[in-house]
Amino acid sequence: MQARPLRLGINVDHIATIRNARGGRHPDPVRAAQLAIAAGADGITAHLREDRRHIRDDDVARLMAEIDKPLNLEMAATEEMLKIALATKPHAACIVPEKRTERTTEGGLDAAGQHDHLAPFVARLNEAGIRVSLFIAAEPAQFEAAARLRAPVIEIHTGAWCDALLGGHRGQADAEWRRICDGAQMASDLGLEVHAGHGLDYASAETIAALPQIVELNIGHFLVGEAVFNGFGTVIRTMRTAMDRGRLRASS
Residues with catalytic annotation? 47, 74, 198
Q: Does 218 bind ligand PXP (CB under 6 A)?
A: yes
> 228 or 251: whose CB is closer to ligand PXP?
228
Q: Does 135 bind ligand PXP (CB under 6 A)?
A: yes
Which of these ranges, 84-92, 120-128, 219-227, 234-242, lies near ligand PXP under the rule CB under 6 A? 219-227
> 10 or 147: whose CB is closer to ligand PXP?
10
**In the stretch 142-161, what mask flags binding to ligand PXP with x, by CB under 6 A?**
-------------x------
Least separation, in Å, of the C-beta of 96 and ligand PXP?
5
Q: What are the DSSP calls for 43-103, one per residue? A: EEEEE--TT-SSS-HHHHHHHHHH-SS-EEEEE-SSHHHHHHHHHH--SEEEE----TT-S
Torsion sign, CA atoms 112, 166, 203, 34: positive
The answer to whether residues 58 and 84 touch, using CB atoms and an 8 Å cutoff, is no
Q: Does 43 bind ligand PXP (CB under 6 A)?
A: no
CA gap 116, 149 in Å, rounded: 9
- Interaction with ligand PXP in 62-81: which residues (CB under 6 A)? 74
The answer to whether residues 85 and 125 touch, using CB atoms and an 8 Å cutoff, is yes
Let me know how long the chain is: 252
Torsion of CA 50, 54, 60, 64, to 10 degrees: -150
Of positions 3, 12, 13, 184, contacts ligand PXP by CB under 6 A: 13
Least separation, in Å, of the C-beta of 118 and ligand PXP?
15
